[in-house]
Amino acid sequence: MKRHGSKDATVTMRDVAETSGFSPATVSIVLNNAPLARYIAPATKKRIEETAKKLGYRPNAMARFLRSNRSHSVGVMIFDISDPFCTPVLRGIENALYQCSYVPIFADAHNQRNRFERYLEMLLDRHIEALIVVANWLFVDIHLLADIGKRNIPAATIGCELPGDTVSSIVVDNEAGGRLALEHLYQLGHRKIAFIRGPKMLFDTAPRWRGIQKFANSAGFEIDPALVVQLPDSLDPNSGFENGQRCTDELLQKKKRFTALLAFDDLTAFGAIRALTKAGLKVPEQCSVIGFDDVPFSLLATPSLTTVRQPLEAMGGLAVNVIMEGVNANLEKREVSIARHRTNPELVIRESTRAVALSGADD
């Protein structure tokens, strides 16, 4: 029955056409519910649909893509999947994409620029319709801008902002977050507070610190420079833990007592907790610790971590909205300007912080 000897189990549109007795064109129209399907006789429709089902016909996506120039896929470039920050974001992206029947092509840059570029090339070759980049530092630069801009591919970054007007961005309001964190400790009565600032190269570091300073100013709280340390730059996402430990050790060695520690992020906070515990200090009894991000573990740790939550999953979804907007705009030849979303952080109070001990309120 098949013309081209049963080379494979794949049943093509022509097969459906032949066995149903109609032309491929008609089959296409019917099966896609194309506008012209309005004029197709119901009986015909039924026959075609039935034989399609009977033969188990499935459209060949590649052929369709070639023809329509739409791949129905989106590149999802993660700067490093071993950063727990990424997982909820990825989930959010995947979920939103799924709703639109788009498929994510997963790329993990391992924090390496060349890997990023290689993947970018692969993704472009595959004619992704849009690109989402999850990255909290700016190894993404000119190249991305150039290639993406030229090809008019909607792109969004999650976790950092790019200069220029070609790439949308979704970031948490770091300043508000920093503010929230310090405010919480302050309201608990803490006045001797140590700070571990983020690495210079990270996008979040500056605004987060700004928020902290602003709150301090507005509350008349003076940040003791001797109690401020900064994480070294590093590409390893899990270095936050070790460096958090080291920074805390450093803080501890100064013999300047503090009752609370504001860590740059959750990983740093875990490192701090480890160091404090090793030094014989109990969290939160003798020292409160607050993180930032609300990575999945924060809930599971004992004590569970008080932190400033980024709505990571929602941010992933938001990114998808943004790029889909772009995709549709392109389709309809509309212009669309990029979006710069700033999501609201949320203080999540758990077990690692508590009111300053009365006995410890020595000045």
Name which of a copy of itself, DNA, none residue 9 binds, using a CB cut-off of 5 to 8 Å depending on partner kind. a copy of itself
Q: What is the DSSP letter of 152?
A: T
Beta bridge partners of 202: 137
Residue 12 contact, options DNA, a copy of itself, none, Cβ 5-8 Å cut-off depending on partner type: DNA
Q: Does 333 participate in binding DNA (rule CB under 7 A)?
A: no
- What is the rounded distance in angstroms from the CA atom of residue 50 to the CA atom of residue 41? 14
* Alpha helix stretches (DSSP H) within 128-254: 142-151, 174-187, 205-219, 239-253
277 makes contact with DNA (CB under 7 A): no
Q: Does 274 bind a copy of itself (CB under 8 A)?
A: yes
The yes or no reply on residue 241 touching a copy of itself (CB under 8 A) is: yes
Task: Compute the distance between CA of residue 15 and CA of residue 4 in angstroms, rounded to an integer.
Answer: 10
Q: Is 23 in the site for DNA (CB under 7 A)?
A: yes
Q: Taking the C-alpha atoms of 47, 50, 52 and 55 in order, what is their torsion angle to the nearest 10 degrees?
A: -120
Q: Which of residues 50-109 bind a copy of itself (CB under 8 A)?
A: 58-63, 65-66, 71, 73, 76, 81-82, 84, 87-88, 90-91, 94-95, 98, 101, 103-108
# of chain residues touching a copy of itself (CB under 8 A): 59
Q: Of 2, 50, 53, 66, which lies in the binding site for DNA, with binding defined by CB under 7 A?
A: 66
Q: Does 314 bind DNA (CB under 7 A)?
A: no
Read off φ and ψ for residue 49, nearest 5 degrees: -60, -40
For residue 137, list its beta bridge partners. 202
**Phi/psi at 344 (nearest 5 deg)?**
-85, 130
42 burial type by CB count under 10 A (0-12 exposed, 13-18 middle, 19+ buried): exposed
Left (φ > 0), alpha (ψ -120 to 50) or beta: where does 32 sit? alpha
Among the candidate windows 29-37, 163-171, 210-218, 280-288, which touches DNA by CB under 7 A?
Answer: 29-37
Q: Which of 301, 312, 324, 356 binds a copy of itself (CB under 8 A)?
A: 301
Residue 336, CA atoms < 13 Å, CB-side half-sphere = 22
Residue closer to a copy of itself (CB basis): 221 or 310: 310
Sheet of strand 228-230: strand arrangement? 228-230, 193-197, 260-262, 288-293, 306-309, 346-348
85 part of the interface to DNA, by CB under 7 A: no
Nearer to a copy of itself, 8 or 363 (CB): 8
Work out whether 277 is an interface residue with a copy of itself (CB under 8 A).
yes
The binder of 331, among a copy of itself, DNA, none, by C-beta within 5 to 8 A per type, is none
Provide the token pair at 216: 């301090």
Binding site for a copy of itself (CB under 8 A): 9-10, 58-63, 65-66, 71, 73, 76, 81-82, 84, 87-88, 90-91, 94-95, 98, 101, 103-108, 110, 115, 119, 121-127, 150-152, 238, 241, 267, 270-271, 273-274, 277, 296-297, 299-304
Binding site for DNA (CB under 7 A): 4, 10, 12-14, 21-26, 28-29, 31-32, 34, 36, 39-41, 43-44, 57-60, 63-64, 66-69
